[in-house]
Each structure stands twice: as structure tokens, then as C-alpha cells.
């Protein structure tokens, strides 16, 4: 009996098999071609970092061809140093710290904003309330050496007519801020408004006193994405792809809060979900601005950046003035729409 596999059918089978192999090969090569890419966050994971874990889980970084590693830091000073020395491709750092770093020779640039309004603040107790800048004179304030608020403190103090040396800064690890003020080891701590929940849990909701810096004329740009000039020169498309994926993660966090929190908990099991929920909600409110609604999440306004640089040049005692038009760029941003209405 003649075999059903004739030379013609065998030839056709080989063509089909070869085509299948060729179709799979590019996909495999693409999977292997994902570029390692490190993000240095400014602290341990808090509410304002959840978007990047969401972007990981949903494959936004994978789709951008990036294998993103997220690394903690002990304040903006450390994350800035990681970006400047190439130990991170992109870092999150406070704008005031970045401006001071640039004045001292750091070769970095601000490439996208996170909070459009400043969350900078000092927490204290009702038994020794620090409600105004004048209340800080002679007091002790806790923060890590690389903390963003500690580093821009001279600007805030001088802007409000206070001698920066009239406050005693006490070295406190990031995770020890809440117990330090709750146990009265310091009079207050420098911490973002978004951390309110932790202080209420430790001291009681009616025992926590805020002193938002924006209330006293200090509304510099705050948390931002930065990259070194070398990284921007060598990896421009990867930087652009990372930012698009990261801000898409923010869009999803804003639009679909609880599922995004579940992803965050899955990716970072150590987080305290009730704190993150509160912390993240306050951070989102700092992003619901007209600037973001009109231009996309993360867009940097030149006027506000120049106003921020003016504060730094005038009050921070920089070794040389910084030129606002050279410290930032919007060229790596892809517009990602704000999914929420502007907060009034």
C-alpha cells in the first residue's frame, strides 16, 4: 500500500512547520530582548509607589520591552545619587533635593512630575502643637539625613523669616518617624501629608497636628522622575517607554482603586493596606489639577518650575544658581489622560 505522505505533501508539511518555527522565534526573541531597567524609589513602598507595581502586574513595562526592577532608597538624597551615578536608570526624588544636587554638580534632569502640588509638611502632637513656622524655633525635628524636607528646610525657613539653625534636626530612620514623635523623642517630624493615617493610628485622630508647607507660601514642585544626562543620551526610547508605562499605571490606580490596591498587595505583601489606601487617596488629590487635566499626568509647567528654582536659588544657599530652563524637559512624556475631574 502506497504511503499517504507523497513528496508533495511532505514538502508542504515542511513549509508549514518552518513557518510555525519562524512565527514563534520572533516572539521568543522579543521576550528575551527585554532590557533590564532599574527604578529607584525615594523610600520604602508607600501609596505613591503603587502605580509602578500595577504597571508591572499588568505587563505595561513588558510591553515597553523593559524588565523593571524597583529598588528602595532612604530618602531623595540617596535616590538622586543612584540616578546620577548610573546605579538606577530612573529615580524618584524631591525637586528641591534635585535642584541642590544639580547646583553641586549632579548631571541629572527632571523628566516628569508625580505630585503636581506639594505634600511637604511637619507632624506634631496636640500637647506641643507646631502649627506655624514660628512654632518651630528651638524645637527638635526628626528626619533621615537624606530626607527631602530636611534638605530643603533652609529655603522654607528663610522664606518664613526663620534662622535655619534655630531648629535641631535629629536623625531618624524613615520607619521610625511615627514612633519618634508619638513617644516624644522629638517635638515633630518632617513627613509628607500623605502619611497622616500612620500618625492617627499611633497617636489618635484628634492628637495629630499638621503644618502643610504650602499653607505658608512654599509650593515648590515636589516628587519627580529624574534621570542622568548619560541615561537620557543612551536610552531615550527606553526612558520614554518607561514613563508612558508608569503614568498608565497611575491612570489605572486613579480609575480603579480597589483592584489596583489588590495588585499592590500581591506584589508587595509587606504593605499595610489601610495606610496605603489613605496615603494613596491623599496623593491622588495632589494630582487632580488643571495642569494634568490639560496636558496629561506628569506634565511639567515651565512657570511653576521656574518659581521653584527661584525659591531654591534665593533661599537654599546653593553653591551656584540653577537655570530653570535647563533642569527639566517634557520631551520624554507621552500624554496619559487624567481619568478624574480636577479637584476644586
Report pLDDT digits (tens) over 111-169. 999 999 999 999 999 999 999 999 999 999 999 887 778 888 998 999 999 999 999 99
Cα first-last separation, the chain? 85
Predicted confidence (pLDDT) at residue 177 exceeds the cutoff of 80: yes
pLDDT at 30: 46
pLDDT at 28: 42
C-alpha 135/C-alpha 130 separation (Å) is 5
Whether residue 41 contacts residue 79, with contact meaning beta carbons closer than 8 Å, is answered with yes
Q: Return the C-alpha cell found at 239.
A: 526612558
Segment 3-19, tens digit of pLDDT: 444 444 444 544 444 44
Whether residue 224 contacts residue 95, with contact meaning beta carbons closer than 8 Å, is answered with yes
C-alpha 339/C-alpha 51 separation (Å) is 14
114 phi and psi angles, rounded to 5 deg: -110, -80
- Confidence band for 32, pLDDT divided at 50, 70 and 90: low
pLDDT at 104: 97
C-alpha 66/C-alpha 62 separation (Å) is 5
Quote the mean pLDDT of the chain: 90
Residue scoring higher pLDDT (16 or 209): 209
| Bridge pairing between strands 208-212 and 223-228 | unpaired
pLDDT at 190: 96
Distances (CA, A) of 224 to 28, 68, 84, 195, 221: 35, 18, 14, 18, 8
User: To the nearest whole percent, how much of the chain has pLDDT over 90?
Assistant: 80
Whether residue 189 contacts residue 125, with contact meaning beta carbons closer than 8 Å, is answered with no
Amino acid at each position: 500500500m502506497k504511503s499517504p505522505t507523497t513528496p508533495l505533501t511532505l514538502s508542504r508539511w515542511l513549509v508549514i512547520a518552518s513557518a510555525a518555527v519562524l512565527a514563534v522565534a520572533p516572539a521568543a526573541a522579543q521576550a528575551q530582548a527585554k532590557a533590564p531597567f532599574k527604578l529607584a524609589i525615594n523610600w520604602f513602598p508607600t501609596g505613591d509607589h503603587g502605580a509602578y507595581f500595577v504597571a508591572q502586574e499588568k505587563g505595561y513595562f513588558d510591553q515597553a520591552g523593559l524588565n523593571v526592577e524597583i529598588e528602595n532608597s532612604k530618602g531623595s538624597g540617596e535616590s538622586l545619587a543612584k540616578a546620577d551615578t548610573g546605579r538606577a536608570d530612573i529615580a524618584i526624588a524631591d525637586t528641591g533635593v534635585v535642584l541642590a544636587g544639580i547646583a553641586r554638580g549632579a548631571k541629572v534632569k527632571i523628566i516628569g512630575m508625580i505630585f503636581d502640588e506639594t505634600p511637604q509638611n511637619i507632624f506634631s502632637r496636640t500637647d506641643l502643637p507646631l502649627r506655624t513656622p514660628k512654632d518651630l524655633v528651638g524645637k527638635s525635628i526628626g528626619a533621615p539625613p537624606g530626607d527631602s524636607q530636611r534638605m530643603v528646610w533652609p529655603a522654607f525657613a528663610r522664606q518664613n523669616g526663620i534662622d535655619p539653625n534655630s531648629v535641631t534636626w535629629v536623625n531618624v530612620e524613615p520607619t521610625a518617624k511615627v514612633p519618634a514623635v508619638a513617644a516624644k523623642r522629638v517635638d515633630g517630624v518632617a513627613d509628607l501629608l500623605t502619611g497622616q493615617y500612620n500618625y492617627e493610628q499611633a497617636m489618635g485622630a484628634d492628637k495629630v497636628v499638621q503644618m502643610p508647607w504650602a499653607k505658608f507660601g512654599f509650593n515648590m514642585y515636589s516628587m519627580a522622575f529624574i534621570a542622568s544626562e548619560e541615561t537620557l543620551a543612551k536610552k531615550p526610547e527606553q526612558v520614554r517607554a518607561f514613563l508612558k508605562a508608569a503614568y498608565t499605571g497611575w491612570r489605572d490606580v486613579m480609575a480603579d482603586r480597589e483592584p489596583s490596591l489588590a495588585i499592590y498587595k500581591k506584589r508587595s505583601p509587606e504593605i499595610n493596606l489601610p495606610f496605603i489606601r489613605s496615603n494613596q487617596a491623599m496623593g491622588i488629590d495632589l494630582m487632580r489639577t488643571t495642569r494634568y487635566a490639560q496636558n496629561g499626568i506628569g506634565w511639567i509647567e515651565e512657570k511653576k518650575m521656574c518659581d521653584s528654582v527661584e525659591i531654591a536659588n534665593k533661599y537654599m544657599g546653593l553653591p551656584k544658581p540653577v537655570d530653570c530652563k535647563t533642569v527639566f524637559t517634557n520631551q520624554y512624556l507621552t500624554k496619559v489622560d487624567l481619568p478624574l475631574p480636577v479637584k476644586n
